Amino acid sequence: MIRHGKTSTGRQRWRCQPCKITTLNEIDSTAKHLDEFVAWLLGRRRQADLPGGGRSFRSRCEPLWQLWPFSPIVDEVHEVIFVDGIHLGRNAVVLIAQTPDCVLGWYAARSENSRAWGALMSRIAPPALVVTDGGSGFARACKKVWPTMRVQRCTFHAYCRIRQATTTRPKLAASQGLYALGQQLLHVEGREDAQEWIGAYQGWCTRWKDFLEEKTRRPDGGWEYTHERLVRARNSLNKLIRQGLLFTYLDPTWTHQMPAMTNQIESTNARLRQMLRDHRGMRLTRRIKAVFWWCYTHSAHPQPAATILATMPTDTYLENAWYQACQTTKPPPPSPAGATQSASTNSTTPPPTTTPGTNPSNTKCPITLMSRRVRQRCHKLPFRGPLLRAPLGGDHTGWHERTNDCHPSHVRVDSCPNVQLTPTSAIP
Residue 423 pLDDT level (bands cut at 50, 70, 90): very low
Residue 341 pLDDT level (bands cut at 50, 70, 90): very low
pLDDT of residue 204: 94
pLDDT of residue 328: 56
325 pLDDT exceeds 50? yes
Cα separation, 182 vs 185, in Å, equals 5
User: What is the DSSP track for 194-246?
Assistant: HHHHHHHHHHHHHHTHHHHT-EEE-TTS-EEETTHHHHHHHHHHHHHHHHT-S
Which 3 state secondary structure label does DSSP give 390? coil
149 pLDDT exceeds 80? yes
pLDDT of residue 379: 39
97 pLDDT exceeds 90? yes
User: Is the pLDDT higher at 345 or at 53?
Assistant: 53
Question: Could you report the per-residue pLDDT of 238-255, keeping only the tens digit for each?
Answer: 999 999 999 999 998 898
412 pLDDT exceeds 80? no
User: Is the pLDDT higher at 115 or at 325?
Assistant: 115
**Domain spans of the chain, in order of start:** 2-66, 155-250
Half-sphere exposure of 231 (CA within 13 A, CB side): 12
User: Is the pLDDT higher at 52 or at 213?
Assistant: 213
> Measured between alpha carbons, how far apart are the two ends of the chain, in Å?
31
Q: Which amino acid is present at 44?
A: R
pTM of the model: 0.72
83 pLDDT exceeds 60? yes
Average model confidence (pLDDT) across the chain: 78
367 pLDDT exceeds 70? no
346 pLDDT exceeds 50? no
Per-range mean pLDDT, top range of 8-12, 87-91, 174-178, 401-405: 174-178
Residue 156 pLDDT level (bands cut at 50, 70, 90): very high
Cα separation, 245 vs 236, in Å, equals 11
Q: Which of 77-81, 189-193, 280-284, 334-338 has the lowest mean pLDDT?
A: 334-338
User: What is the DSSP track for 247-294?
Assistant: SGGG-TT-SSPPP-S-HHHHHHHHHHHHHHHHTTT--HHHHHHHHHHH
Judge contact between 22 and 4, C-beta under 8 A.
yes
* DSSP 8-state class, residue 148: T
Helix orientation angle between 191-207 and 228-243, rounded to the nearest 10 degrees: 140
User: Is the pLDDT higher at 69 or at 15?
Assistant: 69
pLDDT of residue 332: 55
427 pLDDT exceeds 60? no
pLDDT of residue 405: 35
Question: Could you report the per-residue pLDDT of 285-310, keeping only the tens digit for each?
Answer: 999 999 999 999 999 999 999 999 99
Question: Could you report the per-residue pLDDT of 377-402, keeping only the tens digit for each?
Answer: 443 333 333 333 333 333 333 333 33
* DSSP 8-state class, residue 132: E
**Do you know the residue count of the chain?**
428
Question: Could you report the per-residue pLDDT of 183-241, keeping only the tens digit for each?
Answer: 999 999 989 999 999 999 999 999 999 999 999 998 988 899 999 999 999 999 999 99
